[in-house]
Structure 1
Amino acid sequence: MKLAKIIFSQDGLVLLGENVELTERIIARLTELGIQFVYIADARTADVVLPELISEDTMRVALTEIRTNFREIMERPNRRSAKPRIFIDKPFRQMMNMVIDDLLSRRDAMVMLMNMSTVDHYLYQHSLNVCVYTTLLGIAHGYSRDELMTLGLGALLHDIGKTRIDPGVLKKNGSLTSEEYEEIKRHAELGYLILKDEPNIPLLAAHCAYQHHERLDGSGYPRGLKGDEIQEFAKWVGLVDSYDAMTTNRIYRSPMLPHHAMEQLYAGSGSLYEQRMLQLFRDKVAIYPIGLSVKLHTGESGVVVGIHSSCPHRPVVRVLYNEAGEALKIPYEKDLSRQLSVMIVGVDDRAQSDALAATAD
C-alpha cells in the first residue's frame, strides 16, 4: 500500500509524503507515534480528490508557529536570562489571516478530519483543528473578518493553559485521580491569565480559554456559568473542542468516527450546547468524510467519494466489494441522497487497518 495524503511532523515538516510505500517497519513506527489511520492510494479511486480545508503551506506555517510560540509560553516561568520576551500576537495574526483566506476561498467546504498527527503532540494539532473548524463555522454563521480573527485566535489559544500543566498528568495513560483531574481543570483559568495581559490579543479570545468548558446548564467549569453568562465565541469553541477531542486519537483511547461524535454532541443539545449551534455544525460536518470506507446494509462495501452539502449524512459511495465480499472489477456508485432505502451500517471491517482508504488527485 502507498500513502495518498501527507503526514506532517510536530514541526510542520513532512513526516511522510504521498506515494510512500508502507513497509512493516513504517507501519510499526506510525503505530508507535499514535497515528490510527492513513489515506491509502487505490487505483479504483484514483479520480477521488481528498479535500483540504487549508493548504499545505498554511498547515506547515501553522504547526511551526504553534509549536514555537506555545513552547515560548511554556518556558516563560523558568526563564532567567535577559532574552527578550516574544509576543505572540503578530505571528498568530499572520497565521490566522492565512487560515481565513484559505477557508474563504472554500466557502462550501465541510469539516473534514484533520488529525494526521502524533499523540505526543496532541496539543499542537488539536489547537489547529479547533481553530480551523471554528473559523469555518464562523464564516458559515456570517461573522465579519474582524470577528473571525478574534474567534479564530480564541479557538487557537483555548488550551494555552495546558502549557502550564504537568506533562505527566496531561499524557497519563489511564484514569486520572481526583487531584489530577482538578489539576487538568486549572488549564482554563491559567489560559485566561496568560492571555488577558498578552498585548494585542483580544480579551474576548482570553475568555474563550476561560469559558470553553462551561456548559449551558451550569455543569461546566471553572465557574459553573449558565446560558447567556457564557460568551458566544466561547460556546462555539467549547462545541468544536468537544468534537475534535472525540475524533482525535488520545493516549487512553482510539478516536471516534464523526457520526458517533455527532451523536454524543446531540445528546447534550439544549443542556450542554446551543441547539442552533449544533444544527449549523451538523450541516457543516462531513459525517462520512470523503475517503471513509463504509459498509452498506445490502452487504456491499466501498469508499465515500462525494458529499452533498445539503444532506452530508447521505453521501455518494463507490462500491468496491459486492455482498459476498468479492472485489468488483468494475466498481459502481450509489448516491444515497437518491437511494433513500440504502443505509450505511458501519465502517467496513476489511478496512479497519487503514480506516480511511482513498487516494489523492
Structure 2
Amino acid sequence: MRLIPTRSCSPGMRLGKCIYNEDGLILLNEQVELTESLIKRLQQLGVDFVYIMDPDTDDIVIEDVISDETKIKALGEVRTQFRTIMEGNSKSKFSKQHFMGKAFGNVIKMIMDDLDSREGSMIMLMNMNVLNNYLFQHSLNVCIYATMLGMVQGYSKDELTTLGLGALLHDIGKTKINQEIIKKRGPLTNEEWAEVRKHTEYGFKLLKDEPNMPLLAAHCAFQHHERENGSGYPRGIKGDEIIDFAKWIAVADSYDAMTTHRPHRLAMLPHQAMEVLFAGVGTLYEHKKVALFRDNVAIYPLGLTVVLSTGEKGVVVRINPNVPQRPIVRVLADPDGQKVSQPYEVDLSERLTVFVSDVDDWSEANVR
C-alpha cells in the first residue's frame, strides 16, 4: 500500500483504503478503481492524499493509531457542534440547545482508548480518507497529537481528558469569526488579522461556563497562542504564566497548521515545519515539549512517497522509533526517474549523509 498526493493519481489505480464523506458514510470503497472524474472530484472535495494499492509496496501494512470509527465520530461531533454555533450566532441560543462537555467527553474517551491500545505507536497524520474542512480536521489532529504527548508525559486519566478537550476545542472561537475571512485566499489585512486573533477570547467565552467542561479546557482555547517570551496573544503572558496544557497544544497546533494547506499559503514539508519549531525553542516553545513531539511523531508516514537527497525516489516502509525523522525508504526509481529493476531499501538512520529532501508532488498536492 502506498500513500500519494491525489494529484499524482492516475486512472486505473485502485484505492487501498476507504474514503468517507462528512457523515461517516463510505464514499469510495477499498479497491475501487479510480477514474479521471473521481480523481478530480476528490481534489475538489479537499482530499490531498489517498492510499493506493501497489505491487511494489503490498507488504506495507498501515494501522492508524485512531480507528476510522473514532475518527468519524469525532469529526462528526466537531462538525455538528461547531456548525450549530455558526448558525446560532449567539452564546445563549447555543447553550440552550447543546451541552458540549458530555458529547466531547465521550469522543475524548474513544481517542484515549485507541491511543492506549496502540501504546508505543508513532503518530502519523495527514489530510486523507475523510472529507472535511480545515477547522474540523485540524481540531482532531491537534487533539490526537496533544493527547498522545500527554500520555507519554504521564498525565492521569482526568488530566488527559482535560488536555484532550482543550486541544479538540482550542479553535472553537473561530466559529464566531466571519467565515469569509477564515477561508480568504491570500494575505489577510491588518483588520482581518485582528479579528482572527479574537478567536482565543471567543473560545474562552464559549467554554468557560459550559456544563461538564473543565475550566482548564477553556483556558487552553484562551492561551494556545501565548508564547514563552510573551510575544503571543491575547494577553502577552509568558513562561510559567501560561498553563502547561496550552503549551503542549501550541506545539501541536503550530506543526499541524504549518504542514496543512491553507487558502492563503502552501503547506511546509514536515521536516521544514519541525525545523521551525526548533528554531522557536526558548522563545516561542519549551524545548522539552518540542523534543518530545519530535520523538513521537512520524513526520513521514508509512507508505509516503519521498525524494532522497541523492535524487532517488522511494516509499517509507518502516519508521525508526529512536529517530522517526529518519525512516527506512524502499527505493523504486533512480535519480533519473527510471524505475529500478530491483527495489532496495535505505536506512536513513545509518546513511547519515542521505536525507529526505522532498515529498513527491508535495507542492502540487497543496495547490487547489
Spell out, residue by residue over 1:156-178, the C-alpha distance to the aligned partner (whole angstroms, 9 max, x if none): 01011111111111111122111
Shift of 1:297: 3.3
User: Using the alignment, how far apart are the partners of 2:200 and 2:351 within structure 1?
Assistant: 46
Q: Equivalent residue of 1:107, what SS?
A: coil
Shift of 1:80: 9.6
Q: Please tell me whether the aligned partners of residues 278 and 290 of structure 2 are also in contact (alpha carbons under 8 angstroms).
A: yes
> What is residue 359 of structure 1 aligned with on the other side?
none
> What is residue 330 of structure 1 aligned with on the other side?
342
> What is residue 322 of structure 2 aligned with on the other side?
310
Q: Please tell me whether the aligned partners of residues 8 and 116 of structure 1 are also in contact (alpha carbons under 8 angstroms).
A: no
Which of 271, 274, 281 lines up with 1:259 in the alignment?
271
Query: With structure 1 as the length reference, what TM-score do the two structures score?
Result: 0.91
Shift of 1:251: 1.7
> What is residue 15 of structure 1 aligned with on the other side?
27
Note closer, same or farther for the CA distance 1:78–1:344 as it changes in structure 2 (3 Å cut).
closer
1:142 and 2:182 aligned: no
> What is residue 189 of structure 1 aligned with on the other side?
201
Q: How does 1:180-329 map to 2 (within 5 A)?
A: 180-329=192-341
Spell out, residue by residue over 1:185-228, the C-alpha distance to the aligned partner (whole angstroms, 9 max, x if none): 11100000010010110000000000001111111111111111
1:230 alignment partner AA: I
Query: With structure 2 as the length reference, what TM-score do the two structures score?
Result: 0.90
User: Using the alignment, how far apart are the partners of 1:212 and 1:203 within structure 2?
Assistant: 14
Shift of 1:347: 2.8
> What is residue 40 of structure 2 aligned with on the other side?
28
Q: Percent identity?
A: 56
Q: Please tell me whether the aligned partners of residues 258 and 286 of structure 1 are also in contact (alpha carbons under 8 angstroms).
A: no
Q: Please tell me whether the aligned partners of residues 266 and 363 of structure 2 are also in contact (alpha carbons under 8 angstroms).
A: no
User: Using the alignment, how far apart are the partners of 1:80 and 1:279 within structure 2?
Assistant: 42
Unaligned runs of 5+ in 1: 356-361
Shift of 1:253: 2.5
Indicate the RMSD between aligned Cα atoms, in angstroms.
2.3
Q: How many positions carry a matched residue from both structures?
A: 354
Note closer, same or farther for the CA distance 1:352–1:81 as it changes in structure 2 (3 Å cut).
closer
Q: How does 1:31-110 map to 2 (within 5 A)?
A: 31-77=43-89, 84-110=96-122
Shift of 1:117: 6.8
Shift of 1:327: 1.4
Shift of 1:78: 5.3
Q: Please tell me whether the aligned partners of residues 127 and 158 of structure 1 are also in contact (alpha carbons under 8 angstroms).
A: yes
Q: Equivalent residue of 2:222, what SS?
A: helix
User: Using the alignment, how far apart are the partners of 2:97 and 2:334 within structure 1?
Assistant: 62
Shift of 1:10: 2.7
Unaligned runs of 5+ in 2: 1-12
Pick 1 or 2: higher relative contact order, CA cutoff 8 A, min separation 6. 1
1:163 and 2:188 aligned: no
Q: Equivalent residue of 2:357, what SS?
A: strand
More divergent stretch after superposition (59-68 vs 119-128)? 119-128
More divergent stretch after superposition (41-50 vs 76-85)? 76-85
User: Using the alignment, how far apart are the partners of 2:168 and 2:317 within structure 1?
Assistant: 30
Note closer, same or farther for the CA distance 1:42–1:354 as it changes in structure 2 (3 Å cut).
farther
2:225 alignment partner AA: H
Q: Equivalent residue of 1:65, what SS?
A: helix
User: Using the alignment, how far apart are the partners of 2:178 and 2:59 within structure 1?
Assistant: 47
